[in-house]
Structure 1
Amino acid sequence: MIIHSPVGRGWRRSCDLELGPRSLGFAALGFLTLVPLLIIVSSADPERGRGFAQWLGEGLGVSTASRAEVEQLFTRPGQALRTTTAFGIAVLAAFGLTFGAVVQAGYEEVWDLPQARWWARWRQVVWLVVLIGYLFVSATTMLRSETLAGAFAATLSTVLFFWWSQHMLLGGRVRWRALLPGAVATMLGLLGLRIFSRLVFSPLIATNAVTYGAIGTVLVLQSWLVGVGVVVFGGALVGRLVHEEIPRVAQVLKRRARGRR
């Protein structure tokens, strides 16, 4: 039986998005630039920067023992500040903008949009600053996902952030209403990744830490960042499907139902 799909050419082109390479780029730049920047920024934490490591362990959804292995990867902020120079921070910031460019290019490819003009790079700067602030607040906030209020706040903030991120990086070329399904899909994908991490990455961190030492934990963390990249771009792709294709299919089904009457 042959099924004729109502999917348009624009959607088919967006489906050609290569999640693998883009997710690898997302993970590499995120680990090399975003994590060091967050470690430096976390020096403002009253607990002297342990908040980010704790947040990362909670984001992974791993056990207490595995969280301890993750926390050992990060230098204390006092030592990080002593060994960090202004030139090093400038280099991290420059590569951080490249990280923003990767995310922007992925969103543009999802929505089949041309690359933004060079003068629109300021959007990547704003997005990177807000991203660091969002992650830092998430790392140091007293709200915990175990409570109902904490879970609601975390869910709402995640949806709002990815909703705004798409709008900012796409330069307002897609309506807010069209971007909301992608933000919700991204939030659900991150929730699923957290469950997957609890079942798979948590025991991997424990075993790799014994077998390979710290490098084993780094490899698992890098794999988790690849998964985050897949969720970020895949969520936007699913959001476009929900916005464009499902209403179109619903109209086709309604017409068929009327024709049968």
Structure 2
Amino acid sequence: MHRRVRGGRRWAQVSEFELWQRSLGFAALGFLTLVPLLIVVSAADPASGRGFAQWLGDGLGVSAAAREDIERLFALPGQTLRTTTAFGLAVLAVFGLSFGATVQSGYEKVWNLPPARWWARWRHVVWLAVLIGVLFLSGVTPLWRATADRGVITLLSGALFFWWSQRMLLGGRVAWAALLPGAVITMAGLLGLRVFSRLVFSPLIASSAVTYGPVGTVLVIQSWLVGVGVVVFGGALAGRLLHEGLPRMAHALKRRG
């Protein structure tokens, strides 16, 4: 009976979280704000080749043919820098902060915390800057791409980033130990999403590009971003459930022993 009650409470937490709606918001803001910022940042590296398009293809883990379709959507790095204005960067930076606010509100919902005060918005600035830096180093910098242990470094750095992200955006209101399972699960989910992208999104990009043109490729990328949102928020929620469930399991095993 107690197990059924606990299971019902956990399911209530999952259903009240509105994972799908939050993931859609994550994807929309990510495509409208984060993607343009990363395009400009990646273009600042003259050795990055095709810049952001190359990074996005690596992130999705798609085939070479699908990467060519993605590259047709974005301007080359040199053209990007020539057409970028200071006003455009300022607008992107301002709206990009709303992306951090969306992630923060999702984490607060996971842990049933009240919204942070308005003066804590500086955390969004720090988090967004670190996020862009991590993505730039992991996907654009030639030194990182040439590293033999790139996969291991990416997994470890990603887990550390999501661990730190929860702590930063939640304002230290949740202990480090409680946040670690969510960070690990998030990275495991992103690894699974990469495999899924290779099997599903790669041929889908090719077929959509033929059927719908560039719009079809955009729709597939947007779907991938929705998947990233599901993993980010779902991983944090699963981490909390795991953190709260492990002590109960250990206590039950002791009673049986």
TM-score range, shorter chain: over 0.9
More moved, 84-93 vs 95-104: 84-93
Q: Distance in 1 between matches of 2:113 and 2:92?
A: 28
Q: Secondary structure at the match of 2:5?
A: coil
Q: Read off the aligned partner of 1:133 and give its amino acid letter.
A: G
Q: CA deviation at 1:187?
A: 0.3
Aligned equivalent of 2:236 = 236
2:160–2:183 Cα contact (<8 Å) kept: yes
Q: Is the 8 A contact 1:14 1:112 kept in 2?
A: no
Give the RMSD, CA atoms, in angstroms: 2.1
Q: Which residue of 2 is the match for residue 125 of structure 1? A: 125
Go from structure 1 to structure 2 and tell me whether the alpha carbon gap of 1:91 and 1:206 turns closer, same or farther (over 3 Å shift): same
- The whole-number CA distance in structure 2 between the counterparts of 1:145 and 1:179 is 31
Deviation at 1:44, TM superposition (A): 2.0
Instruction: Give 5+ residue unaligned stretches, structure 1.
Output: none
CA distance in 2, matches of 1:88, 1:102: 22
- 1:90 corresponding residue in structure 2: 90
What letter corresponds to residue 153 of structure 2 in structure 1?
A: A
Distance 1:2 1:101 in 2: 37
Give matches, 1:112-261, under 5 Å.
112-141=112-141, 142-144=143-145, 147=148, 149-255=149-255, 257-258=256-257
Tell whether the 8 Å contact from 1:40 to 1:80 is kept in structure 2 after alignment.
yes
Contact kept, 8 Å, 1:15 with 1:237, in 2: the verdict is no
Number of the residue aligned with 1:42 = 42
Task: State the partner residue of 2:68.
Answer: 68
Given the superposition, is the C-alpha separation of residues 29 and 190 from structure 1 closer, same or farther in structure 2, using an over 3 Å criterion? same
Q: Whole-Å Cα distance in 2 between the matches of residues 3 and 9 of structure 1?
A: 10
Match of 2:6, SS?
coil
**TM-score normalised per structure 2:** 0.93
Amino acid across the alignment from 2:144: L
How do 1:54-65 residues align onto structure 2 when only pairs under 5 Å count?
Answer: 54-65=54-65
CA contact (8 A) 1:62 1:202 kept: yes
TM, length-normalised to structure 1:
0.91
Could you tell me how far 1:140 is from its partner in structure 2?
1.8
Q: Which amino acid aligns with 1:143?
A: W
1:54 alignment partner AA: Q
Gaps of 5+ in 2: none
Instruction: Judge conservation of contact 1:70–1:217 (CA < 8 Å) in 2.
Output: yes
Deviation, structure 1 residue 146: 9.4
| Matched position secondary structure for 2:16 | coil
Alignment of 1:95-114 (within 5 A): 95-114=95-114
Tell me the alpha carbon deviations over residues 150-196 of structure 1, each in whole angstroms, 9 at most, x when there is no partner.
Answer: 11111101101101100100000001111110000000000110111
Secondary structure, counterpart of 1:113 in structure 2: coil
* AA of the residue aligned to 1:126: V
Contact 1:51 1:139 in 2 (8 A): no
2:10–2:241 CA contact under 8 A, matched in 1: no
Task: Give the Å deviation of 1:14.
Answer: 6.0
Residues 105-158 of structure 1: CA deviation (Å, up to 9, x unaligned): 0000001100000000000000001111111111223334994x1111111011
